Structure 1
Amino acid sequence: MDQRATLRIKAEKYRGYARRINDPDTVERILHLAWELEWKAMQPDDEDIRTRAYDLWKQAGEPEDRDEEFWLLAEQELRNEDGSSPLRTPDNL
């Protein structure tokens, strides 16, 4: 099982705990923890970024010495919900 699936399972487990607790403050803290786990599970990992950066680099004609640029672009693109990147223009590809 991958890390994302594990985080989602933990989040669901915490939500289950929250349903059985009567103290509102404790419920709020547990639900916040569950939300943080879900959020973390949705974030791209290094492998996702590496794969997307490679694809962008290939699309750009495999230019030399721009690995950091493509890494940052891929990271930003994957973190945007719609997959777009405001930095990405025809001039910088």
Structure 2
Amino acid sequence: MKYFEISSPYYALIKAETEDRAIAKYVELVADDDGELKDEIKEVSREHAMNIFSNAKSEDGEAVSTFETIETFNSPEDIVLAVTSELL
């Protein structure tokens, strides 16, 4: 798996097999592609992604358990790991 950050129009951290799949997941769950997502997306390290994800809160603002954090982070599916709080 690879890890990607998109900063605009809304921040998201996404785990996906490819950049194209990360963009598709972003468009599906976060925001439409205004034609600039290819310029906004960047691959980040697994360590960076885990640091961001482990400090993220659930949709209701609660801390996520260590077990759930590790289970979700290591799951094999493409997933949005974190989004800006503006969208919650």
Structure showing the higher helix proportion among its residues: 1
TM-score in terms of structure 2 length: 0.30
Considering only CA atoms, is the larger Rg found in Structure 1 or Structure 2?
A: 1
Structure showing the higher strand proportion among its residues: 2
Using CA pairs below 8 Å that are at least 6 residues apart, which structure has the higher relative contact order?
2
TM-score in terms of structure 1 length: 0.29
